[in-house]
Amino acid sequence: MTGPVRPHDAAVTDMPSSDLGSATACTSTAQCDDGFACTIDGCSASGQCDHTTIDAMCAADEACIVGMGCVRRGATVCTTNAECDDGNFCNGLERCNARVCLTPLPQTCDDGNACTVDRCDTALDQCVRSTAPGCDAGVAPGDGGSARPFEAPADYTGSFLFVPAQSSGCGAATYSISRVTFSTTATTLTIQGGSFPMTQIPLPTGASFDVTYVQPDCGTYHLQGTFSDSNSFTALWTATFSGSCGFCPGQSASVIGVRS
């Protein structure tokens, strides 16, 4: 018999009183062991498994629930993520785990850039960033080196600040991109943003680029932009989600890059 299941970070809401266990046919008590230490299991005269809960087998702040074991009192029992969603983007993405709603960590909007003021807007359901005092367009004073006209492919190399940073805390689509790195081969441009190697084939011959990365069963990440000189570009960042990440909100944002 296994130990009790204890999802201690469950959200505190009303606990449904319905019995989550389903009747199981049996001919002996041995067939009714549910693996939870807080239940006494038996086979009734009608040939159905019975599970009697004993709260005293759980911690003081827990109750014994049929089919779940020891669960914090006041936890929300669920079967889908939608049952746990409170509609507030800024307090994080609620998930249903082991039939209990889990309280998420608050949404992190900090992009790691000292030149942006970051906050989560509950009305817009998104991270909002503004330019910090003394900075220009979210980038510290200075052009990162002497700017000159862009030359392909030589200038498709190096690291660039990515402003505003793009981030997500949604399931497998969790990332924070505040910097991107350009590199080339004879045929391919690669822009590495976080863990995403976005690519373009063939290698662009001018100042405009269009790179994509497909994350299996989750998202497609796309950056399309143009260099204004050797040290800066403007671009459109988009992220669309499907498969196991289909519940994640899509992204579309205008960004700038500055060589650093």
Which tens digit of pLDDT belongs to each residue from 94-145? 778 777 787 666 777 877 676 778 888 888 888 888 877 656 554 544 444 4
Per cent of the chain over pLDDT 70 is 83
CATH for 116-259, among 1.10.1060, 3.30.1560, 3.60.21, 2.40.128?
A: 2.40.128
152 three-class SS? coil
Do 175 and 196 touch, CB atoms closer than 8 A? yes
Q: Is the four-CA dihedral 60, 64, 69, 72 of positive or negative sign?
A: negative
Model confidence over 158-197: pLDDT tens digits? 999 999 899 988 888 999 999 999 999 999 999 999 999 9
Average pLDDT on 35-41 reads 89
The tokens describing 82, both together, are: 């939608």
- Flag whether pLDDT at 252 surpasses 90: yes
Contacts (Cβ under 8 Å, ≥6 apart) of 17 = none
The strand pair at 158-170 and 173-184 is best described as antiparallel
Domain ranges across the chain: 1-106, 116-259
Is a pLDDT exceeding 70 seen at residue 31? yes
Mean pLDDT in residue range 215-228: 95
- The more confident residue out of 235 and 21 is 235
For the segment 60-81, the average pLDDT, to the nearest whole number, is 78
Strands (E) across 185-241 are located at 189-193, 196-200, 208-215, 219-229, 232-241
Residue 134 pairs in a beta bridge with none
Rounded to whole angstroms, the Cα distance separating 72 from 5 reads 10
Mean pLDDT of all residues in the chain? 81
Higher pLDDT, residue 233 or 129? 233
Cα–Cα distance measured from residue 166 to residue 127, given in angstroms and rounded to the nearest whole number: 9
Dihedral of the alpha carbons of 59, 61, 65, 68, in degrees to the nearest 10: -70
Tell me which of 99 and 242 has the higher pLDDT: 242
pTM (two decimals): 0.49
Residues above pLDDT 90, as percent of the chain: 37
Q: Identify the residue whose tokens are 């890059």.
A: 257
